Amino acid sequence: MDRRKFLRYGLRRLAVYLLTIWGAFTIAFVFFRLIPGDPIELYYRELQAEGFSGESAVNDAAAETIRERIGIDGTIIEQYFRFMGNVIFRAEFGGSILAVGTPVRDLILRALPWTIGLLGLSVLIGWVLGVIVGGLVGWARNSPFANGLTTISIALSQVPQYIAALALLYLFAFTLAWFPVRNAYPGTVIPGFNLDFIVGVIRHGTLPALAIIIVSVSGWILSTRSLVVLILGEDYLQYAQSKGLPRGYLFTNYVLRNALLPQITALAISLGFIVNGALLIETLFSYPGLGLLLQRAVTQLDYNTIQAIVLISILSVLTANFLLDLVLPFIDPRVRTQEMG
Amino acid sequence: MTDDLLTIRDLRVYFHSTRGEYKVVDGVNLGVRRNEILGLAGESGSGKSTVIEAIGRLIEPPGYIAAGEIIFKPQTDHQPTRDANPAFESQLAAGVDLVTAEQPLLQYLRWRHMSYIPQASMNALNPIMRIKRQMVDAITAHTDLSETDAHQRAAEVLDIVKLPPPVLEAYPHELSGGMKQRAIIAIGMTLNPQLIVADEPTTALDVNVQRAILDALLRVKAETDASILFVSHDLAIHAELVDRMAIMYAGKIVEVSPVHDIFAAPKHPYTQQLLKSAPTLGGERVRQETVLGRALDRLNWPSGCRFHQRCPFVMERCKHVEPPLVEVAPGRSVACHLHYDVETQQVINADEFADGRTHD
């Protein structure tokens, strides 16, 4: 591929990417200001409800201090520029209410690896399994085994993830007690590069990962299968068959490779959405990732933390699409011609 | 038993549906001789392409071969350099029925002895594979040629169809329709098969490209001793290209003759009407004749001769008795009661019908 053409294409994509981030962040900023009610007052009422014995009304000076700390003082324009400057150039999301004294950035940085590890890996494993099995099921579409697997996949793909999670929890954690119920690792081990910790992480991650994989793999099986069945009707496959090529080669080079292209796009999109997907699973398993953090932030009306997580989920969707744009020309020659002339 | 390269006997290909069996090909008899170009003509829906797909064993469900045999008998000392399988080769030398052949034998003989040029060659190439790969994969699957030698061979056959070597590195979407079509003809020639079945390879191409493709096919026949079974509904192309011509109607062959004879004096009333419907260059401006009536319902063919509802010479017998395909003159076969009396088993000299006069 022509290096200069690719560079030009990449820069064009990068410009679009940055512009979209700016637009999406601006919209997010506006939406957050549109939420009715004063967060300070809500926070104060919350404290009173919990039996906090202080002044009965919000002290103006105290409120102003808290406003400053979470960045909602001054006019809307001032707020906007401060917000953009902080978020984009310093990755600074302000102080949290969830853990007073800890910046939101630290909360996020603590939670993010768990989400990426659990959700990212589960989505990836589900995709690889689903594409391979779905490819084979489509290839052998008239065999009873393939039909059975398709029927099972149709059923499983309609199960909501939280139902699968609850079923697994009930069966393997409560009834059989093979796996732990909550957290990402046992409280008794020291996080770090040691065997106890690694085994603990795997044991704690198994059930939530399974819940995600069981549901997602059946979806990938169905979509890959239908792609393969379409390809089986393509003229180029009939022609390749007439050439007397070995069946294994036909499957990998003609069927699977063509089915893979749309599936790679779909994978990138679902990887972009893992932050959204984390909410239910992480809450059910008390898994200390972004999803659980978001759940806690929402219940405690932690304005800055919610905002930060929303921004990160926007960013991850856009980044996944940007990376996909960069990868596609390498795997699909038609995109190469179309985009780079 | 004849020594034809390909002998089709009573081939029936049906398509299953909830309304019944679509008898798309319903009793075809046809032979392809060695080193000839046999043309197969007929209107849309007459079953031409299905015959071709049956020969390649490419019929997909709900279609199936309901009856008949397709005996393929290539001369196996043809290409000694290939990594030939002696067991398969001796089977082939004795003649193999393609309808019942097992997958390993089919995979073995495909491309080595018989290649296929598909109808929709716009989409016949894998869109994400270079032309080179799609030529070389067939070569390496069937021979022990090295990758380099296979490339060499690929460039050679591209040259026969007048495509320059850079085409090897191209992806299908970078080629024009005519170039793709020629590339496919080239791919069909890579292993010098004895039989090339071509399904409308010139349809939808402009006349210049058609010319190039016809020349390429004629060169293949001349240079490799191959036989070509050529399907087209374009009669002008048949006239230029083929040695013998078979006319198909309603899932059956109605007439087979040397191409010159068929154009000079068509015997079957359908052939006569078909030829009259083709325009000619020069002469008076006349209103073009058409074949009367509509194409038939393939679920329920009419009884007797399938052409009787559209035939200007229809007799009582035509409505009840199906005429067999019989040789009525040297090299000329026709399935029509005007030319053969099934009761006395005598050929009727029916030349007075040849010019299309009605007999009233």
- Mean pLDDT over residues B318-339, rounded? 91
> Is the domain of A148 the same as that of A209?
yes
Domain that includes residue A232, residue range: 106-300
What angle is formed at CA A92 by the lines to CA A91 and CA A98, rounded to 5 degrees? 125
pLDDT in tens, B163-173: 899 999 999 99
pLDDT in tens, A211-223: 999 989 999 999 9
Output the CA–CA distances (angstroms, integers) from residue A4 to A7, A8, A9, B166, B359, in the order listed: 5, 6, 9, 22, 78
Q: Is A235 on the interface with B (CB under 8 A)?
A: yes
Per-residue pLDDT, B358? 43
Q: Is B64 on the interface with A (CB under 8 A)?
A: no
Per-residue pLDDT, B80? 47
Backbone angles phi, psi at B114, to 5 degrees: -145, 125
Per-residue pLDDT, A53? 61
- Give Cα B121 distance to the centre of its chain: 16
Per-residue pLDDT, B14? 93
Q: Is A242 on the interface with B (CB under 8 A)?
A: yes
Between chain A and chain B, the number of residue pairs with CB atoms below 8 A apart is 81
Model confidence band, residue A250 (pLDDT cutoffs 50, 70, 90): very high
Residue A215 vs residue A71, higher pLDDT? A215
pLDDT of residue B176 exceeding 50, the answer is yes
The most confident of the ranges A186-200, A241-255, B215-229 is A241-255
Question: For A245, which of B120, B124, B141 is closest by C-beta distance?
Answer: B141
> Is the domain of A113 the same as that of A163?
yes
Q: Does the beta-carbon distance from B125 to A239 stay under 8 Å?
A: yes
Nearest CA in chain A to B103: A244
Per-residue pLDDT, B94? 86
Instruction: Report the CATH number that the domain containing residue A182 is assigned in CATH.
Output: 1.10.3720.10
Per-residue pLDDT, A146? 92
pLDDT in tens, A88-142: 888 778 777 777 778 888 999 999 999 999 999 999 999 999 999 999 999 998 8
- Mean pLDDT over residues A315-319, rounded? 92
> Is the domain of A216 the same as that of A267?
yes
Domain count, chain A: 2
pLDDT of residue A179 exceeding 50, the answer is yes
Q: Kindly state the DSSP code that residue A98 receives in the 8-state scheme.
A: T
* Beta strand pairing call for B37-41 and B227-231: parallel
Per-residue pLDDT, B203? 74
Q: Which two tokens stand for residue B144?
A: 């022990």
Chain B, 124 to 163: residues with Cβ < 8 Å from chain A are: 124-129, 134, 137-138, 141-142
Q: Report whether A241 contacts A250 (CB < 8 A).
A: yes
Q: Which residues pair with B116 in a beta bridge?
A: B197
Model confidence band, residue B55 (pLDDT cutoffs 50, 70, 90): very high
pLDDT of residue A163 exceeding 80, the answer is yes
Per-residue pLDDT, A213? 93
Per-residue pLDDT, B15? 93
Model confidence band, residue A34 (pLDDT cutoffs 50, 70, 90): confident
Per-residue pLDDT, B292? 60
pLDDT in tens, B240-262: 899 999 999 989 999 999 999 99
Output the CA–CA distances (angstroms, integers) from residue B295 to B19, B249, B307, B309, B336, in the order listed: 19, 9, 10, 10, 19
Q: Is B195 on the interface with A (CB under 8 A)?
A: no
The average confidence (pLDDT) of chain A is 86
Model confidence band, residue B357 (pLDDT cutoffs 50, 70, 90): very low
Model confidence band, residue A226 (pLDDT cutoffs 50, 70, 90): very high
Per-residue pLDDT, A180? 83
Q: Does the beta-carbon distance from B128 to A337 stay under 8 Å?
A: no
Question: For A244, which of B111, B124, B173 is closest by C-beta distance?
Answer: B111
- Identify all chain B residues contacting A256, using CB atoms and an 8 Å cutoff: none
> Is the domain of A209 the same as that of A332?
no
From the CA of A68, how many Å to the nearest CA of chain B?
Answer: 57
Per-residue pLDDT, A148? 94
> Is the domain of A259 the same as that of A313?
no
Q: Of A180, A216, A215, A217, whose CA–CA distance to A201 is shortest?
A: A180
> Is the domain of A70 the same as that of A120?
no
Per-residue pLDDT, A236? 93
* Stretch among A173-182, B7-16, B75-84, B104-113 having the lowest mean pLDDT: B75-84
> Is the domain of A122 the same as that of A199?
yes
pLDDT of residue A71 exceeding 70, the answer is no
> Is the domain of A284 the same as that of A331?
no
Q: Report whether A288 contacts A173 (CB < 8 A).
A: no
pLDDT in tens, A323-333: 999 999 888 88
Per-residue pLDDT, A32? 81
- Identify all chain B residues contacting A332, using CB atoms and an 8 Å cutoff: 128
In the three-class reduction of DSSP (H, G, I as helix; E, B as strand; rest coil), residue B40 is classed as: strand
- Identify all chain A residues contacting B118, using CB atoms and an 8 Å cutoff: 235, 238-239, 242
Whole-complex ipTM: 0.84
> Is the domain of A23 the same as that of A153?
no
Per-residue pLDDT, A1? 63
pLDDT in tens, B294-309: 666 777 888 889 888 8
Question: For B123, which of A235, A242, A245 is closest by C-beta distance?
Answer: A235
Nearest CA in chain A to B188: A243
> Is the domain of A57 the same as that of A71?
yes
Helix (H) or strand (E) holding A131: helix A121-139
Q: Which residues have CB under 8 Å from A143's CB, separation 6+?
A: none
Question: For B174, which of A241, A257, A337 is closest by C-beta distance?
Answer: A337
> Is the domain of A283 the same as that of A322?
no
Nearest CA in chain B to A333: B128
> Is the domain of A134 the same as that of A265?
yes
Per DSSP, helices labelled H in chain B are 48-55, 86-94, 103-109, 131-142, 147-160, 177-189, 207-224, 235-241, 259-264, 269-276
Model confidence band, residue B360 (pLDDT cutoffs 50, 70, 90): very low
Task: Give percent above pLDDT 90 in chain B.
Answer: 39
Per-residue pLDDT, B284? 63
The rounded distance, in Å, linking the Cα atoms of A218 and A123 is 12
pLDDT of residue B5 exceeding 90, the answer is yes
Q: Is the dihedral of CA A96, A98, A102, A108 positive or negative?
A: negative
- Mean pLDDT over residues A18-40, rounded? 84
The average confidence (pLDDT) of chain B is 85
Question: For B107, which of A236, A238, A244 is closest by C-beta distance?
Answer: A244
